[in-house]
Amino acid sequence: MPNRARRIQSKSHKEDLLRKIWDKSAVSCVVGLGYVGLPLAIEQARAGFKVVGVDTNEFRAKMVQSGKSYLHDIPAESFQSLLKDKLSATASYENLPEVDIFIVTVPTPLSKSLSPDLSFLHRACEQIATILKPGQLVCIESTTYPGTTEQELLPILEKSGLKVEEDFFLAYSPERVDPGNKKFTVKNTPKVVGGLGTESLEIAVAYYSQFIDTIVSVSSAWVAEMVKIYENTYRSVNIALVNEMAMLSKEMGLNIWEILDAAFSKPFGILPFYPGPGVGGHCIPLDPHYLEWKARAINFNTEFITLAGKINRHMPSYVVGRLRELLDRAGNALSQSRILVLGVAYKKDADESREAPALDIITKLQAARADVSYYDSRIPEVLHLEQPLRSIELTPKNIQTFDAIVITNEDSNVDYSAVVTNGKIVFDTRNATRGVKAHRHKITLL
């Protein structure tokens, strides 16, 4: 087709899709209904768009379709009324209606060698390519390294025979979901958007602005990809700094928590970060590795970022070492001790243990032949080393049976005064016991 005819056709596709966006007749398909995809689908439906979620996990698709939630911070009541005519879910791409917009929110984990695993993204785009039609927009939200959208995903989508910016549109807009955060949601968290061209950017901005308050346009998908990687690498580096400060303060006989409370009283030039037993969750343990991998591919050495990751990965070993010292001081060998790990979620009041440092600590304690149990009010069972572990009941009688308790995550449902009263040794890596007044001699802080 001559270039002029293609430009006219592209303009027509763009105008048709913009019209559908503005009159809310555009149909959106959210690929992946996890902690990113489900709230994103709900927000679009609330804004008046028809949304279908597709997830190859049949359990998730059936739960949404039946008006039930599998995410702790997404109550079923928040989307049940939308199921009448705005929101639906399926486990098969074959069951999709006519779609105008695809938003991809699938996981991007690491391989065993700590390299990016884009297999979920590749499969999602391969599926989309088989049904891609002229005039559709594809937005990628999964966290990944700079260049992924253009170099990895665009070639897959163009196997459809369609050309970006001429037949279809492609953008990258990184997810910024913080599970459990009541203050910042999909709607009021600023949305960064970068396109594979000016037409793609314009359409993506037009769509996201229909249900998100603030849109931040950037010059390319590469920039948008780097924004997300920077955000989480920034957190990783600062957490590593405060973890190293905690270890140094201990050697100097200083209380890191007192130091931080005083330091954060400064109203400028400092942001609060706190030490802990390591980093966990969907982003911080993974994203810096994506950036390191891309840097190595262009022969750049990320010394600072790599060192931060090394410090954070060392923290579970450090915690076990400190716990061993506390037990030795009490005349107990770690190998003959009963240990309670308190909190296996990756952050305060979360209901997920993905990459949680507590799991690594449990592994190391078991390797030292300790008898290990855990309690978490929101996670009754975890799969650990391919074996199920079940949370105990946190009763005074049960607490008294343990030689030591290590607090690896803060849980609002736990009475820490009762834990300290009934426990023998309490090693608190999160300062969760800061409000406990009695028996403080039993508590050792990180």
pLDDT confidence of residue 2 = 53
| Out of 8-12, 57-61, 97-101, 396-400, least confident range | 8-12
DSSP state of 133: -
Of 24-33, 89-98, 128-137, 321-330, which range is least confident? 89-98
Q: Does 125 or 72 have the greater pLDDT score?
A: 125
Residue 5 has pLDDT above 60, yes or no: no
Calpha distance 64→49 (Å, rounded): 17
Q: What percent of the chain has pLDDT over 70?
A: 98
**Mean per-residue pLDDT, 113-118:** 90
CB 344 within 8 A of CB 390: no
- DSSP letters, 10-64, are HHHHHHHHHHHHHTT--EEEEE--STTHHHHHHHHHHTT-EEEEE-S-HHHHHHH
Average pLDDT, the chain: 94
What is each CA distance from 84 to 189, 213, 280, 292, 330, in whole angstroms?
27, 26, 37, 46, 62
Given a cut of 60, whether residue 4 has pLDDT beyond it is no
Instruction: List pLDDT tens digits, range 329-360.
Output: 999 999 999 999 999 999 999 888 989 999 99
> Residue length, the chain?
446
Q: Does 378 score more than 70 pLDDT?
A: yes
Please give the average per-residue pLDDT across 304-333, as a whole number: 97
Question: Which residues does the annotation mark as catalytic?
Answer: 283
Does residue 179 register a pLDDT over 90?
Answer: no
By C-alpha distance, which of 43, 98, 91 is closest to 63? 91
Question: For the purposes of burial, counting CB atoms within 10 Å of the CB of 262, is it exposed (0-12), middle (13-18) or buried (19 or more)?
Answer: exposed
Look at residue 181 in the predicted model and tell me its pLDDT.
Answer: 87
Distance CA 238, CA 275 (A): 9
Distance CA 383, CA 150 (A): 36
In this prediction, residue 285 carries a pLDDT of: 87
Domains and their CATH numbers in the chain: 3-219 (3.40.50.720), 235-445 (3.40.50.720)
- Residue 427 pLDDT > 70: yes
pLDDT of amino acid 8:
60
Among the listed residues 155, 151, 174, 173, the one whose alpha carbon sits nearest the alpha carbon of residue 163: 155
Average pLDDT score over residue span 135-158: 98
Asked whether the predicted pLDDT for residue 203 surpasses 80, the reply is yes
| Model pLDDT for residues 240-282, shown as the tens digit of each residue | 999 999 999 999 999 999 999 999 999 999 999 999 999 998 7
